[in-house]
Amino acid sequence: MDEINFAVLGTGGIGRRALDYSTQKDHLTPVAACDRHGVAVDHDGLDVDELLAATEGNIANDGGTQTVKQSGSMKGVAASAQADPTETPIDDIIDVSDAIDAVLIALPNLEHDFVPNVGERFAEAGYEGVLVDVLKRSRVIDILDAREETYEDSGITFVCGAGATPGFLTGAAALAAQSFVEIEEVEIWWGVGLKSGYEDNRGTVREDIAHLDGYDIETARNLTDEEIEEIVEEHDGRIEFNDMEHADDVLLERAGICDAEDVTVGGILDVRSDEKPTTTTVSVTGRTFDGERGTNTFQLDDVTSMEANVNGPALGYMKAGVRRNRAGEYGVFGPADLMPGF
Ligand SMILES: NC(=O)c1ccc[n+]([C@@H]2O[C@H](COP(=O)([O-])OP(=O)(O)OC[C@H]3O[C@@H](n4cnc5c(N)ncnc54)[C@H](O)[C@@H]3O)[C@@H](O)[C@H]2O)c1
């Protein structure tokens, strides 16, 4: 496969690890990265070690909505010797996007149309490449779908919901479904242990809290750091989620695998231990062509981290997106669309 130059929008918990991960994956060269206040571009390839060292602790202290934690003499990415401070980080990357094959969007998703709007800005600038996001909410996929023509016209291949769940586990469900001619239900149950805690995974934890009873994306966006720490404290560091609005449902439906209402997603987040509080499992129950009813189950090893399970698939789906893009296939693709058809 040809070489891929890619950019990362957002260098928080996910974005930094995506850069790190990419150094151990073939054919990927990170050439640009930004956070809210800084941008680094080097078309020969960023020095990832330097960027990661400079941005250590570079996590927005409000989930990325306003600020970036101070790091070194400058803020965030701007602390890197390869970077410049900027008021317009995303536009700065759009300006050089002619030379970028793919863009991983690792931005917070505390406004539903934020990621679709970022995609639209790339399209308006005439970008012809791959956009990959790791967003979680079902309704954002609908917004992307509604704008599919814009991406198609530009020559963009938009791979959406390509993290762990949705993403890795959606793909696993699509694969597990292949034994069946009719799917009864898909159950996704995840376990994530994040000893690095809220401090190091702000966007992720804040957005997960929006799924708890009594919260939504609006209220979660407005919580202070202290309030989030209190919620974590109230749950003794282990928060259980049920019936989450995770896009695995619409992504499986749009790939023709099952109805969205037959998909349930829940899980347990432990922000005080690296050990997973429960084993991540995807169970697909269906009827085979020869009349049996069965359940295919896919399990992740308890030792593989959330970071490995988000960033490995995100970069893998990015590669799959680039193959499509180079074959002239544009529009919106979910993880299940990149698996065997149903
Ligand atoms: N699908 C999955 O399995 C999965 C798993 C984990 C996280 N996620 C998602 O990944 C996203 C990122 O999570 P995180 O924990 O890395 O968040 P984070 O808060 O640690 O990092 C967000 C980054 O985006 C930057 N940013 C915010 N607004 C910006 C703007 N307008 N312009 C440029 N940069 C901006 C911030 O400066 C920060 O660097 C979240 O939406 C989260 O839900 C998905």
- Residue 289 in domain: yes
Distance from C-alpha of 311 to C-alpha of 13, rounded to nearest angstrom: 11
Sheet hosting strand 102-105, strand order edge to edge: 83-85, 38-41, 28-34, 4-9, 102-105, 130-133, 157-159, 331-333
Ligand 1 touching residue 310 (CB < 6 A): yes
- Residue 173 in domain: no
Are residues 91 and 238 part of one domain? no
Mutate to test the pocket of ligand 1, among 19, 36, 217, 265 (most ligand atoms within 8 A of CB): 36
> Which pLDDT score is estimated for 69?
45
Tens of pLDDT along 84-94?
A: 999 999 999 99
Phi, psi of 93 (to 5 degrees): -75, -40
- Catalytic site residue from 207, 276, 307, 319: 207
Q: How far is the CA of 13 from the centre of ligand 1 (A)?
A: 7
Are residues 153 and 72 part of one domain? yes
Ligand 1 touching residue 60 (CB < 6 A): yes
Query: For residue 122, which of 94, 157, 160 has the smallest C-alpha distance?
Result: 94
Ligand 1 touching residue 262 (CB < 6 A): no
Give the confidence band of 74 by pLDDT, cuts at 50, 70, 90: low
% of the chain with per-residue pLDDT over 70: 94
Ligand 1 touching residue 193 (CB < 6 A): no
Are residues 317 and 262 part of one domain? no
- Residue 290 in domain: yes
- Residue 207 is among the residues annotated as catalytic for this protein: yes
Are residues 258 and 204 part of one domain? yes
Are residues 101 and 11 part of one domain? yes
- DSSP secondary-structure letter at 23? T
pLDDT over 50 (residue 64): no
Total domain count, the chain: 2
Tens of pLDDT along 7-42?
A: 999 998 899 999 999 999 999 999 999 999 999 999
The radius of gyration of the chain's CA atoms, rounded to the nearest angstrom, is 19
Q: How far is the CA of 135 from the centre of ligand 1 (A)?
A: 9
Query: For residue 250, which of 136, 102, 138, 86 has the smallest C-alpha distance?
Result: 138
214 annotated as a binding-site residue: no
CATH number of the structural domain spanning residue 111 = 3.40.50.720
- Residue 170 in domain: no
pLDDT over 90 (residue 63): no
- Residue 172 in domain: no
> Which pLDDT score is estimated for 57?
62
**Range of weakest confidence among 1-5, 223-227, 242-246, 293-297:** 1-5
Distance from C-alpha of 170 to C-alpha of 304, rounded to nearest angstrom: 17
- Residue 174 in domain: no
pLDDT over 50 (residue 116): yes
Are residues 15 and 118 part of one domain? yes
- Residue 193 in domain: yes
Are residues 295 and 334 part of one domain? no
Are residues 319 and 283 part of one domain? no
> Which pLDDT score is estimated for 60?
46
Asked whether the beta carbons of 100 and 32 are under 8 A apart, the reply is yes
Are residues 276 and 161 part of one domain? no
Average pLDDT of span 275-283? 97
Are residues 260 and 135 part of one domain? no
Are residues 243 and 214 part of one domain? yes
- Residue 69 is among the residues annotated as catalytic for this protein: no
- The boundaries of the domain holding residue 229 are 179-303
Tens of pLDDT along 135-175?
A: 999 999 999 999 999 999 999 999 999 999 999 999 999 99
